[in-house]
Amino acid sequence: MTSQEIFEQVKKKKSFLCVGLDSDVNKIPHFLYDTSDPVFAFNKEIIDATHDLAVAYKPNLAFYESMGVSGWNTLEKTVNYIRYNYPDIFIIADAKRGDIGNTSNLYARAFFDAMDFDAVTVAPYMGEDSVKPFLTYVGKYVILLALTSNKGASDFQYMAEDGERLFEKVIKNSQEWGDSENMMYVVGATKAEMLKDIRKIAPKHFLLVPGVGAQGGSLAEVARNGLNSKCGLLVNSSRGIIFAGNGEDFAAKAREAAQEVQSEMAGLLSEANLL
């Protein structure tokens, strides 16, 4: 998928929403436990209820890996369901991988060949050779962790040398490995004030922005600081949407929550003359 194709979906849906499928088996409605695959049944309902409002879905792999083999089967079924029923939607493996070249090559094969994700989140700490294997797949994206929204982000990411902070160095140096057609960056919504600085370094790249909703990030601040000429943002909301309700109407409640976010996004896109 190209960045232009993502932008076309943004314009069509008037949305840059990414729904995070952080589908905790302990939090899904209990009546789903009677189904053969409760988490897949949950995901399917969430996807069907929000697919016209979201341009991307992002399963967080920890919630699937923690269930062992059955979790991997659920993940594969979820990806296949999106791919077959809603083929224009961008699918992100929130895996945060990153290892020596040969191992990264196998990770890339797992996510891009075996499971047909469009993108995978990758930690840049081990450098270029740990990222390059993911960049060899045409039409696929690496989403590098750059400036995260967790409290511990300040432990390393703001360290400065010669006036340049570590997260800025990551973004600047990594652009020599790929371009805006195979690389994106994770920038937390709680760091919205930093987006202007990041846009100076990476004006064309899409940014995956978690932290809106349950984590308290401001969507308006993210948009006003981070939008570019092709939108350039995928703003993720997980718990605030998928766990908006926990009864038999959970999917309808998820849709209501997604519509609220999408409606605000439509206004921000219009304000930026992107529709």
CA distances from 109 to 105, 206, 208 (A): 6, 23, 22
How far apart are alpha carbons 59 and 251 in whole angstroms?
17
Which sequence positions are flagged as catalytic?
A: 96
pTM for the model stands at 0.96
Which residue ranges make up each domain of the chain? 3-271
Q: What is the pLDDT along the chain (275 residues), one digit of tens a residue?
A: 999 999 999 999 999 999 999 999 999 999 999 999 999 999 999 999 999 999 999 999 999 999 999 999 999 999 999 999 999 999 999 999 999 889 999 999 999 999 999 999 999 999 999 999 999 999 999 999 999 888 898 899 889 988 899 999 999 999 999 999 999 999 987 777 789 899 999 999 999 999 776 555 689 999 999 999 999 999 999 999 999 999 999 999 999 999 999 999 999 999 999 99
- Given CA atoms 205, 125, 94, 1 in this order, what sign does their dihedral have? positive
- Reported CATH class of domain 3-271: alpha beta
* Full DSSP string of 19-41: EEE---TTTS-GGGGGSSSHHHH
Distance in angstroms (rounded) separating the CA atoms of residues 106 and 129 = 13
Burial (CB count <10 Å: 0-12, 13-18, 19+), residue 25: middle
CA angle 230, 117, 73 (to 5 degrees): 150
